[in-house]
Structure 1
């Protein structure tokens, strides 16, 4: 059994999202992204399908030139290699589920781009 918390030990960064690997299972990596209002993750692609959960707050999730407002409790799934971007509209805790084959380094590069 593996346990983790989306709400404990939160450390927000100024100017860019904060990333933490919460757990790695046999099939996925569960990542917490802390975003302050105004934080942006520029357009990028994931090599494998992803699932995004808004645990707290609100983001605009852009895909195919359309913005989708995601609020607390919303989930979305996205197929691999689909360009997308995020803009935080209200301080947020975002849970990102990526494939075990994907890397935390790739996600860090997106945040630091």
Structure 2
């Protein structure tokens, strides 16, 4: 998968609030589908569908522990997304700095 494909699948997976809630839960540690379903107002099959999207995006990995199939967070794609967003953070910081400078200049004219 190319970096652009990775970003596309990561952001597509993150677009859904249920998937973000699943990732937030997995950030606290592994969980089974049943454990992930409890706090959500959706069925186990719906959680499984969301997990498949997260797996395709590389954000979740399912393991096997005897009868359990725990899900684990894979954070590397989130790092790539954060790095990409950081470029825009720099842009906005410089824009805000220019706005602050302009406001300071306008306030100086009022005194």
Same fold (TM over 0.5): no
TM-score in terms of structure 2 length: 0.28
TM-score in terms of structure 1 length: 0.28
Higher helix residue share:
2
Higher strand residue share:
1
> Greater CA radius of gyration, 1 or 2?
2
Higher relative contact order (CA 8 A, sep 6+): 1
